[in-house]
């Protein structure tokens, strides 16, 4: 079956611009997670959705970052006024229900010039 997909696979933007990153979870998975992986490091948690609601957004670095999941399926991570330090691979994962194995997408590589 289809896995987690993320679009775009690569995004290059200029400092100060707004970007949206999309995640399509595995069909039927109720939990969805966003992580950020900087070069040479392990992924770091950003936000977790259970259904449509953000159950834990404690990993979002600041208020420039926001994520939505309006229908409990697709999620969009939104970054306002991008900074060079936002450059990283943004990973999405989903799981059938809270607490079970997380399945990861291939990631979106964001480069802020």
Burial class (CB within 10 angstroms; exposed 0-12, middle 13-18, buried 19+) of 79 = buried
User: Judged by CB under 8 A, does residue 98 bind other proteins?
Assistant: yes
User: Judged by CB under 8 A, does residue 91 bind other proteins?
Assistant: yes
Site for other proteins in 25-84 (CB under 8 A): 31, 33, 35, 40-45, 48, 50, 55-56, 59
Interacting residue with other proteins among 13, 76, 96, 104 (CB under 8 A):
104
DSSP strands (E only) in 38-87:
44-50, 53-56, 65-68, 75-79
The region that residue 52 occupies, defined by phi over 0 for left and psi between -120 and 50 for alpha, beta otherwise, is alpha
User: Judged by CB under 8 A, does residue 101 bind other proteins?
Assistant: yes
Which stretches of the chain bind other proteins, using CB under 8 A? 3-4, 31, 33, 35, 40-45, 48, 50, 55-56, 59, 91, 93, 98-107
């Amino acid at each position: 079956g289809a896995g987690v997909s993320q679009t775009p696979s690569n995004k290059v933007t200029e400092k100060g611009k707004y970007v949206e990153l999309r995640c399509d979870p595995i069909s039927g998975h109720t939990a969805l997670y966003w992580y950020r992986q900087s070069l040479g490091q392990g992924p770091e948690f950003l936000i977790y959705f259970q259904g449509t609601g953000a159950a834990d957004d404690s990993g979002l670095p600041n208020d420039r970052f926001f994520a939505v999941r309006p229908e409990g399926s697709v999620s969009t991570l939104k970054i306002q006024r991008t900074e060079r330090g936002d450059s990283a691979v943004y990973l999405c994962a989903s799981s059938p229900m809270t607490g079970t194995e997380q399945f990861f997408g291939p990631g979106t590589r964001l480069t802020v010039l």
